[in-house]
Amino acid sequence: MGIIMRIWKSIILYLRYASICVRSAMQYKLSFLLMIIGRFIIAFNEFIAIKFLFSGFEEIKGYSYGDVLLCFSIVQMSFTLSELFGNGFKVFSGMIKRGDFDRILLRPCSPILQIIGNHFEIGRTGPMITAVITLVIGIRTCSVSWNAAAFFTLALMIAGGALLFIGLFMLGAGLCFFSIEDTSIINVLTYGAKSHGKYPIDVYGRGILRFCTYIIPYTLFQYYPLQYLLGRTTQWRLAFYPLGIVVFLALCYAVWRIGVHNYKSCGA
Amino acid sequence: MRKYYLFFKLRFAAGIQYRMAAVTALTTQMVWGLMECLAYKAIAESSGNMPMDYSAVVSYIWLKEALLALFNTWAADNDIFGMILNGDISYELCRPLSVYSMWFSRTAGGRISEALLRCIPVLACAFLMPYPYKMGLPVSAGAFLLFLLTAVLGLGVTIAFCMLVYILCFFTISPQGWRMALTGAVDFLSGNIIPLPFFPDKYLRIAQLLPFAYMQNIPFRIYCGDLAAAAIPSAIAGQVFWFAALTLAGLLLWKKAEKRVVVQGG
């Protein structure tokens, strides 16, 4: 009973944080609107690029235009969700530098909750508009027979992707504890996957496919469940591969925990 | 001796900071370039006829990564935006110099120095890539000279456009959002996301009417031999025209903006 109460309280607190962030963003309505539009256009460019490229050919390694759009929108959606909820980890190095993390540790409340709650940035949802548009076009033009199982797989892929990216952001934040050097190299793994994950990963060849399975498990939410979704295989267990990302998330969390335990404030 | 050692250590530690930033930038650009090369490889294998040769696409991608600092429109000089927002602009106005020329030259200097620093490691790696992903040499010595000429002109067009973006900041309170929208669109139309030859004909004709096709598109395609020799003179003429037109527009807009500046004291 106690644990349920604690989770419930955390959720209430998170929602309160989020609503404060939303209200503060709404103080600058025009700025907020332009941010959304700006981010929407940048993501929309990527969609137009795929559309233009596919005007010259029918398919890429056996994936049709609709298949690629579906993949693109899944990755965009996961990334946007992870940025919305995990944005705090992205700006974490600044919090350490300014000494804000010391204040957070003093409060009788989970540090992660405070970090992610404080940086719930609704302005980052612009790419979601593009992702929804491409998802609709993708669903209508790709070679999937849409039934409950397909939608379930799709939802699991998006959720798994979001968790994977949150894990990477958390890993990047955790590295700040171990190194005073620039840790933005982690961006290659996050932004890189966002921009290049628009194609199913096997398009890039075997080497990249291995890297994206054994080093950073992108294929668990993208390539493998996609094979099932597109009906290229009848192995239904592939649809449950995104669940494996929980293990990856746990590893990232472990790095984070070790970092927090070894954290020494330099006085602020 | 110990204090000299400490000085050495201090400077070395500071240097390592920058080295890490350089390693990060290089890694990012190599990963980006390689992933794009692999994607176009898959496209080339899946479709019989690409609008550009695969080797030309590879050179185009590596040039784009190496000279990113020269031609991108999104990384404008943040100091200038800062000056406009925090009011330091008044000091700039006090100087007996043309603000337009001053900002133009500082933007050019910043871009060229950054590009020189960044392009050497990226190009070195790009030339050392294994065969199909290896950057090619320019198709001829003449093409290389024309590449240099059009790169300078393209840089001029790019900066003249960035100047417009700076000056437009005088007319709005929150420049971030629309700057993002504008530069996002330019990014696409200048061939930074996909090379212009991959555009469908109808859209290619529209894109070629805009100044953005005269930035990186021309020098890169001359380098890799994709732009036909007959089309080069008109391309250079287009660059000169847009450079003049954007500079003129910038100067006129600056006249207007200058009148609007109200220094609140302080």
Q: Is the pLDDT of residue A268 over 60?
A: no
Report residue A227's pLDDT band, with 50, 70 and 90 as the boundaries. Answer: very high
Report residue A245's pLDDT band, with 50, 70 and 90 as the boundaries. Answer: very high
| In-domain check, residue B216 | yes
Pairwise CA distance, residues A237 & A156, whole Å: 12
Mean per-residue pLDDT for A174-198?
86
pLDDT at B221: 94
Pairwise CA distance, residues B103 & A64, whole Å: 48
Average pLDDT, chain A: 90
Which chain A residues contact residue B38 at CB under 8 A? 203-205, 208
Mean per-residue pLDDT for A135-160?
90
Q: Is the pLDDT of residue B265 over 70?
A: no
The residues on A that touch B, with CB distances below 8 Å, are 28, 30-31, 33-39, 41-42, 45-46, 48-49, 52-53, 55-62, 181-182, 184-185, 187-188, 192, 195-196, 199, 203-205, 208
Q: Is the pLDDT of residue A224 over 80?
A: yes
Q: Is the pLDDT of residue B259 over 80?
A: yes
| In-domain check, residue B265 | no
User: Which of A183 and B6 is assigned the larger pLDDT?
Assistant: B6
User: In this complex, do A204 and B32 lie within 8 Å of one another by their Cβ atoms?
Assistant: no
User: In this complex, do B47 and A58 lie within 8 Å of one another by their Cβ atoms?
Assistant: yes
The percentage of chain A sitting over the pLDDT mark of 90, rounded to a whole number, equals: 60
pLDDT at B229: 86
- Residue A60's DSSP bridge partners are A63
Which chain B residues contact residue A36 at CB under 8 A? 177
For residue A268, count CB atoms less than 10 angstroms from its CB and return exposed for 0-12, middle for 13-18, buried for 19 or more. Answer: exposed
pLDDT at A264: 83
Which chain B residues contact residue A37 at CB under 8 A? 177-178, 181
- Residue A63's DSSP bridge partners are A60
Tell me the per-residue pLDDT of B84-123, one tens digit each, with 9 for 90 and over.
Answer: 777 788 888 888 888 888 888 888 888 888 888 889 999 9
Tell me the per-residue pLDDT of B168-224, one tens digit each, with 9 for 90 and over.
Answer: 888 876 677 667 778 888 889 999 999 999 999 999 999 999 999 999 999 999 999
SS3 A180: coil
Mean per-residue pLDDT for B140-148?
93
DSSP code string of chain B: -HHHHHHHHHHHHHHHHHHHHHHHHHHHHHHHHHHHHHHHHHHHHHSS--SS-HHHHHHHHHHHHHTHHHH-SSS--HHHHHHHHHSTHHHHHHSSS-HHHHHHHHHHHHHHHHHHHHHHHHHHHHHTS-GGGSPPPPS-HHHHHHHHHHHHHHHHHHHHHHHHHHHHGGG-S-HHHHHHHHHHHHHHHTTSSS-GGGS-HHHHHHHHHSGGGGSSHHHHHHHTT-S-GGGHHHHHHHHHHHHHHHHHHHHHHHHHHHHH------
Residue B219, min C-alpha distance to chain A (Å): 21
Domain residues for B139? 2-260
Q: pTM for the whole thing?
A: 0.89
Which chain B residues contact residue A62 at CB under 8 A? 46
Q: Is the pLDDT of residue B48 over 90?
A: no
Average pLDDT, chain B: 87
pLDDT at A232: 87
SS3 A225: helix
Tally the domains of chain B: 1
User: In this complex, do A52 and B194 lie within 8 Å of one another by their Cβ atoms?
Assistant: yes
Report residue B131's pLDDT band, with 50, 70 and 90 as the boundaries. Answer: confident
Tell me the per-residue pLDDT of A30-64, one tens digit each, with 9 for 90 and over.
Answer: 878 888 888 898 899 999 999 999 988 888 988 99
pLDDT at A164: 96
| In-domain check, residue B182 | yes
DSSP code string of B43-70: HHHHSS--SS-HHHHHHHHHHHHHTHHH
Domain residue spans of chain A: 2-262
Q: Is the pLDDT of residue B20 over 80?
A: no
User: In this complex, do A38 and B28 lie within 8 Å of one another by their Cβ atoms?
Assistant: no
Report residue A169's pLDDT band, with 50, 70 and 90 as the boundaries. Answer: very high
User: In this complex, do A199 and B42 lie within 8 Å of one another by their Cβ atoms?
Assistant: yes
